[in-house]
């Protein structure tokens, strides 16, 4: 299912892109035609004759001169004969029979983006449309180079299957722990649009896959057509600062970057606690969380926070109101294991 919450402008952009592809196919066809008609003038005549036959048919129907059925029969007979003649000319000169048909990039939908069913009911979006949508969502998500295939890319083997509470800070093995987290994340994406589904907070030491997991979730949601926006906490606060500064001083400033923080279906705030502290920043964070929590009652508007600061320290760092928003609206998951960056090296 493609989410309906996608902004109008993204769909408009994709339609423009598809229009461009169709136009390219038609221009290319015109070029082929011009060349062939010069060499084989009869091909041009055939096109004219098909065109005129169609016009004559319409006129005859409109004027009530002949019964529609016999006129249609005559027309299709005529067009068939002309088409066969055209194919003969093409093939006998070494061209493929369909050389005078447009070549679309996607043969499934002829670059319309839509697979239509008879009667127009149950039209579906073509796979090429979904891919364009995913690309747009990805380009607008800030996720940068960390593109993956979603949960299929998440490897639980990287987590040790050893119970060592002193070392990993949990009573289970990190492997069992991450399998539980992964299952919860699957449920999060599966029931993303349900207002009952709570936000996610990932905590745990560096290199244990918090950012990677957030990226997998982002990918799954974009595949389903949801908008995603990724920020590290410092870049989030920078964007807000720029907005506050410019919205008062610069009339031409585009406020959409800030609006998207409040509106995107999924917001990821990574590395929370690495920003330099200030009372205004906490007020901004509180405003973002409150606005998104209230949006979520009407349409999907969820947030994932990741941090490698110990929860107790984090809660000391932020004021009470932020802590209460987090404990009240987020499910907290503790990532554990060895630093996967070191394992890789
Ligand atoms: N489950 C996984 N499957 C495959 N690769 C993983 C997995 N988890 C992490 N990685 C890889 O390990 C590296 C470190 O993971 P990641 O950046 O997610 O850690 P982190 O918990 O966000 O660390 P930090 O707290 O320092 O931000 C990444 O480059 C990522 O590609
Ligand atoms: Mg990280
Ligand atoms: Zn298509």
Contacts 24+ apart (CB under 8 A), 90-98: 90/36, 90/43, 93/40, 95/36
Q: How far is the CA of 131 from the centre of ligand 2 (A)?
A: 27
Q: Helices 8-39 and 41-63 sit at what angle, rounded to 10 degrees?
A: 120
The whole-number pLDDT of residue 285 equals 94
The answer, yes or no, to whether any atom of ligand 1 lies below 6 A from the CB of 147, is: no
Q: Helices 210-223 and 174-190 sit at what angle, rounded to 10 degrees?
A: 30
Least distant ligand from the CA of 185: 1
The answer, yes or no, to whether any atom of ligand 1 lies below 6 A from the CB of 110, is: no
The whole-number pLDDT of residue 4 equals 41
The whole-number pLDDT of residue 3 equals 45
| Look-up of token digits 């098909």 | 50
Domains present along the chain, CATH in parentheses: 8-125 (no CATH), 140-344 (3.40.50.300)
CB 54 within 8 A of CB 15: no
What is the model's pTM?
Answer: 0.80
The whole-number pLDDT of residue 254 equals 77
Pocket probe for ligand 1: among 212, 313, 333, the residue whose CB has the most ligand atoms within 8 Å is 212
CB 193 within 8 A of CB 300: yes
Residue by residue, pLDDT tens for the chain (345 residues) are 444 445 667 888 899 999 999 999 999 999 999 999 999 999 999 999 999 998 988 888 888 777 777 778 888 899 999 999 999 999 999 999 999 999 999 999 999 999 988 776 778 889 899 889 888 888 889 887 667 889 999 999 999 999 999 999 999 999 999 999 999 999 999 999 999 999 999 999 999 999 999 999 999 999 998 999 999 999 999 999 888 888 877 777 777 788 889 999 999 999 999 888 888 888 999 999 999 999 999 999 999 999 999 888 888 888 889 999 999 999 999 999 999 998 776
The answer, yes or no, to whether any atom of ligand 1 lies below 6 A from the CB of 158, is: yes
CB 168 within 8 A of CB 149: no
The whole-number pLDDT of residue 7 equals 62
The whole-number pLDDT of residue 246 equals 85
- Which residue's CA is minimally distant from atom 25 of ligand 1? 206
The whole-number pLDDT of residue 130 equals 86
Least distant ligand from the CA of 208: 1
The whole-number pLDDT of residue 61 equals 80
- Which residue's CA is minimally distant from atom 7 of ligand 1? 209
């Amino acid at each position: 299912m493609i989410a309906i919450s996608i902004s109008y402008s993204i769909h408009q952009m994709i339609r423009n892109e598809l229009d461009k592809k169709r136009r390219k196919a038609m221009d290319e066809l015109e070029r082929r035609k011009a060349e062939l008609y010069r060499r084989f003038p009869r091909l041009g005549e055939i096109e004219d004759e098909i065109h005129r036959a169609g016009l004559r048919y319409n006129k005859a129907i409109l004027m009530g001169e002949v019964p529609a059925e016999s006129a249609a029969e005559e027309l299709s007979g005529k067009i068939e004969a002309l088409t066969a003649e055209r194919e003969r000319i093409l093939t006998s000169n070494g061209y493929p029979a369909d050389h005078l048909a447009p070549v679309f990039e996607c043969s499934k939908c002829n670059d319309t983006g839509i697979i239509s069913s008879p009667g127009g009911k149950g039209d579906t979006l073509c796979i090429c449309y979904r891919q364009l949508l995913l690309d747009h969502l990805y380009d607008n998500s800030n996720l940068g180079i960390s593109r993956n295939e979603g949960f299929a890319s998440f490897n639980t083997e990287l987590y040790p299957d050893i119970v060592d509470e002193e070392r990993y800070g949990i009573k289970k093995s990190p492997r069992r722990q991450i399998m539980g987290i992964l299952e919860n994340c699957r449920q999060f994406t599966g029931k993303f649009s349900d207002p009952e589904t709570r936000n996610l907070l990932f905590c745990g030491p560096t290199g244990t896959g918090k950012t990677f997991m957030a990226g997998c979730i982002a990918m799954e949601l974009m595949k389903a057509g949801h908008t995603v926006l990724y920020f590290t906490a410092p870049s989030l606060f920078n964007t807000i600062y720029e907005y506050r500064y410019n919205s008062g001083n610069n009339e031409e400033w585009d406020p959409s970057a800030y609006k998207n923080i409040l509106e995107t279906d999924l917001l990821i705030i990574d590395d929370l606690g690495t920003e330099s502290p200030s009372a205004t920043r906490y007020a901004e964070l509180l405003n973002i969380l409150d606005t998104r929590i209230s949006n979520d009652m009407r349409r999907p508007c969820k947030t994932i926070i990741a941090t490698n600061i110990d929860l107790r320290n984090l809660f000391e760092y932020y004021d009470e109101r932020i802590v209460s928003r987090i404990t009240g609206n987020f499910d907290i998951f503790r990532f554990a294991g060895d630093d996967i960056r070191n394992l890789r090296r």
